[in-house]
């Protein structure tokens, strides 16, 4: 060797590469032992750098490629971590880039625009520092020059490390089985290979998805929804309401007790109820994917599928309802921007945040409390001269993050223009304080969902003279760090007059508002056709 580099400097450079290679991409991997496994990529990288010629252009090209690959996978790991915390799945750049804007708005509402900007700046600095450190580390090892037998040994070591790495990746992906366990794990390389395959599969799925939207057995069927007998129908989504409300000890005692109380009061009023589970297409966010899945009977798991659906001529429940003589509407208090896709969803009327007449202060991200939303629904859609029954989607948002503050349940006839809520809109600690403590976040979530359930139950009890047929369900489970659950299941309740609810007896749902553990679990996209079949005299044209 022509030049001896200090051992400490080389060790530090190797440590930089080591830390980048063992960086976890999942919150469950953040353990005290996560840093201790040996990355099989490290000896391959170091051996490759040693055998390269110092001044050769190819050496710089290899270093640039290494920094680009390691930086990209490191960025992927960080994006994965954020996505697993928020949505329970890894990051896919083909499908998830649109979430950047939504993530910014939610983060800025939760911790403030300045703190959110600091978080973004910190992330960018971390990425820049990582790239610079990786370039420095590869440069240190590339300056070691090997000749003769040393070079031949380095080439042999490089080939051997490459074979070991490929063997471990194939073994972990169950492509073959190694006779012995390697002395480490090629986690970063495997992650890169797996994601490349998953991106290719996602692209193929997106190309073929339009085929899944073609067949519709109800499109040529009539009459539909005639068994509802001109009664109003409301599909009410309760934000972030999932199986955790029944299974997680942090939430189950509160939410079960609220539902039991509401169940007893509704039963006393002569109202029938059934409950079960639906499997949502995602967790943690993107409520519109669940709305579209339920209404259209197509499995909408990402934004590209959503866009493909909107470009198709698929009919939603609301198209069928309009064709059957209902007034169709969407009550969407979270919509504060243009929503052009609403024209493709079958809604005759869309009431966004500005259309509901709320003059009170917002509750951080939440534009208005759920109780006000339902009073506005009555005023603007139910108490009108139009004789046609209403068929509406209502997306409640009080149980949307950041879950602070939470108003009390007020007298239904006292809400006026919503300014009565100003007393609570700025009460308590702001989100940037609450969200420093995960236990406080979970406590606020518990209270927020409980508030929304009480609001929906109270609203149903007010309709004693002619209760609508109400389908109340969660849009998705909340983020995993809050729910403490990996489940994609959400509860669904159907509430209404006994004669109508009896039409769902064949579904096998649990009586009341608390679904049993063994109650059916349907994929959310199967509900549209089951609902049309149960409340229509015609059979689908298969």
- Give the pLDDT of the chain (542 residues) as one tens digit per residue: 444 457 778 888 888 888 888 777 776 666 666 667 788 888 888 888 877 766 677 778 888 888 888 888 888 777 777 766 666 666 766 666 666 666 666 666 666 667 777 777 877 787 788 888 888 888 777 777 766 666 677 777 777 777 877 877 887 777 877 777 777 777 787 878 877 777 777 667 666 666 555 578 888 888 899 899 889 999 999 999 999 999 999 999 999 999 999 999 999 999 999 999 999 998 888 889 999 999 999 899 887 788 788 878 889 999 999 999 999 999 999 988 888 888 888 999 999 999 999 999 999 889 999 999 999 999 999 888 888 999 999 999 999 988 989 999 999 999 999 999 999 988 888 887 888 888 999 999 999 999 999 999 999 998 867 889 999 999 999 988 888 888 999 999 999 999 999 999 999 999 999 999 888 899 999 999 999 999 998 876 55
Q: What is the DSSP string of 284-329?
A: SS-HHHHHHHHHHTS---SHHHHHHHHHS----HHHHHHHTT-EEE
pTM: 0.74
Q: What are phi and psi of 489, to 5 degrees?
A: -80, 145
Q: Regarding beta strands 272-279 and 349-352, do their DSSP bridges make them parallel or antiparallel, or are they unpaired?
A: unpaired
User: Rounded to an integer, what distance in angstroms lies between the CA atom of residue 212 and that of residue 516?
Assistant: 32
Same domain, 298 and 263: yes
User: Rounded to an integer, what distance in angstroms lies between the CA atom of residue 446 and that of residue 236?
Assistant: 19
Nearest to 483 by CA among 445, 517, 515: 445
Same domain, 91 and 150: yes
For the chain, the residue count is 542
- The encoded tokens of residue 436 equal 């420093």
Same domain, 427 and 496: yes
Place of tokens 């971390």: 126
Same domain, 254 and 194: no
113 is in which domain, residue-wise? 7-204
Nearest to 77 by CA among 215, 194, 250, 248: 194
Pick the last residue of a domain from 204, 238, 271.
Answer: 204
Q: Are 529 and 540 in contact (CB under 8 A)?
A: yes
Q: What angle do CA 510, 478, 279 make, to 5 degrees?
A: 40
In a domain, 219, yes or no: no
Q: Are 168 and 40 in contact (CB under 8 A)?
A: yes
Pick the last residue of a domain from 187, 204, 221.
Answer: 204
User: Rounded to an integer, what distance in angstroms lies between the CA atom of residue 70 and that of residue 242?
Assistant: 37
Same domain, 278 and 423: yes
Name every residue whose Cβ is closer than 8 Å to that of residue 368 and which is 6 or more positions away in sequence: 333, 353, 356, 358, 360, 362, 397, 418, 421
Q: What are phi and psi of 425, to 5 degrees?
A: -60, -30
The separation between the first and the last C-alpha atoms of the chain, rounded to the nearest angstrom, is 77
Same domain, 248 and 106: no
Same domain, 200 and 240: no
Same domain, 351 and 499: yes
Which CATH number do you get for residue 475?
3.40.720.10
Same domain, 285 and 414: yes
In a domain, 222, yes or no: no
- The encoded tokens of residue 52 equal 């390269």
Nearest to 110 by CA among 74, 140, 137, 86: 86
Q: Are 296 and 316 in contact (CB under 8 A)?
A: yes
Tally of domains in the chain? 2
Name every residue whose Cβ is closer than 8 Å to that of residue 224 and which is 6 or more positions away in sequence: 218, 320, 323, 324, 532, 535, 536, 538
In a domain, 220, yes or no: no
In a domain, 509, yes or no: yes
Same domain, 297 and 153: no
E strand or H helix at 371 = helix 370-377
In a domain, 218, yes or no: no
In a domain, 541, yes or no: no
Dihedral sign computed on CA atoms, order 323, 329, 335, 336: positive
Same domain, 194 and 278: no
User: Rounded to an integer, what distance in angstroms lies between the CA atom of residue 226 and that of residue 245?
Assistant: 35
DSSP H helices, 88-112, are 93-96, 99-111
In a domain, 542, yes or no: no
User: Rounded to an integer, what distance in angstroms lies between the CA atom of residue 491 and that of residue 507?
Assistant: 15
Buried b (16+ CB within 10 A) or exposed e, 111-142: beeeebeeeeeeeeeeeeebbebbbebbebbb
Q: How far is CA 110 from CA 119, 185, 233, 322, 429, in A?
A: 12, 38, 34, 39, 11
Same domain, 199 and 257: no
Pick the last residue of a domain from 204, 220, 254.
Answer: 204
In a domain, 153, yes or no: yes
pLDDT at 80: 74
Place of tokens 């896919």: 92
Rg (CA), the chain: 28
Nearest to 406 by CA among 372, 444, 438, 375: 444
CA atoms within 13 A on the CB side of 400: 25
* Inter-helix orientation angle 113-142/7-22, to 10°: 130
User: Rounded to an integer, what distance in angstroms lies between the CA atom of residue 240 and that of residue 365?
Assistant: 14
- The encoded tokens of residue 190 equal 């495997």
């Amino acid at each position: 060797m022509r030049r001896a580099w200090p051992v400490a400097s080389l060790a530090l450079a190797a440590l930089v590469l080591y830390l980048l290679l063992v960086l976890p991409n999942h919150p469950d991997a953040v353990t005290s032992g996560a840093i201790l496994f040996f990355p099989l990529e490290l000896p391959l990288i170091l051996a490759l750098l040693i055998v390269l010629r110092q001044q050769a252009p190819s050496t710089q090209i290899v270093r640039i490629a290494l920094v680009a690959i390691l930086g990209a996978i490191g960025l992927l790991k960080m994006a994965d971590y954020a996505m697993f915390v928020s949505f329970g799945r890894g990051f896919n750049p083909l499908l998830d880039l649109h979430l950047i804007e939504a993530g910014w708005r939610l983060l800025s509402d939760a911790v403030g625009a300045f703190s959110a900007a600091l978080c973004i700046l910190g992330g960018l600095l971390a990425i820049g520092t990582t790239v610079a450190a990786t370039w420095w580390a590869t440069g240190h090892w590339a300056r070691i020059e090997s000749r003769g037998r040393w070079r031949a040994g380095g080439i042999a070591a490089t080939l051997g490390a490459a074979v070991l790495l490929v063997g471990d990746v194939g073994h972990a992906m169950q492509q073959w089985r190694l006779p012995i366990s390697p002395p480490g794990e090629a986690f970063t390389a495997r992650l890169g290979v797996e994601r490349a395959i998953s991106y290719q599969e996602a692209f193929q799925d997106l190309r073929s998805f339009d085929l899944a939207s073609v067949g519709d057995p109800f499109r040529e069927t009539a009459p539909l929804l005639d068994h509802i007998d001109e009664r109003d129908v409301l599909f009410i989504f309760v934000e972030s309401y999932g199986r955790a409300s029944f299974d997680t000890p942090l939430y189950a005692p509160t939410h079960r007790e609220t539902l039991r109380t509401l169940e007893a009061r509704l039963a006393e009023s002569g109202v029938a109820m059934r409950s079960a589970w639906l499997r949502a297409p995602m967790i943690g966010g993107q409520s519109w994917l669940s709305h579209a899945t339920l209404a259209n009977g197509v499995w909408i798991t990402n934004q590209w599928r959503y866009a493909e659906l909107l470009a198709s001529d698929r009919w939603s429940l609301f198209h069928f309802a309009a064709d059957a003589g209902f007034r169709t509407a969407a009550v969407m208090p979270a919509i504060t921007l243009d929503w052009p896709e609403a024209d493709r969803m079958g809604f005759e009327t869309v009431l966004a945040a500005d259309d509901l007449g709320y003059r009170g202060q917002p509750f951080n991200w939440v534009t208005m409390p759920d109780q006000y939303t339902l009073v506005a629904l009555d005023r603007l859609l139910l108490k009108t001269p139009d004789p046609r029954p209403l068929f509406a989607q209502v997306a409640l948002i009080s149980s949307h993050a950041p879950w602070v503050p939470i108003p009390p349940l007020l007298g239904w006839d006292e809400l006026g223009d919503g300014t009565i809520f100003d007393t609570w809109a700025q009460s308590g600690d702001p989100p940037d304080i609450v969200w420093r403590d995960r236990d406080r976040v979970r406590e606020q979530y518990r209270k927020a969902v409980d508030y929304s359930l009480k609001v929906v139950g109270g609203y149903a009890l007010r309709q004693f003279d002619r209760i609508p047929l109400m389908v109340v369900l969660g849009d998705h489970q909340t983020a995993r760090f809050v729910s403490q659950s990996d489940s994609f299941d959400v509860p669904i309740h159907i509430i209404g007059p006994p004669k109508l609810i009896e039409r769902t007896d064949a579904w096998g749902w649990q009586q009341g508002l608390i679904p049993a553990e063994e109650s059916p679990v349907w994929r959310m996209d199967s509900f549209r056709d089951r609902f049309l079949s149960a409340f229509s005299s015609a059979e689908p044209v298969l």
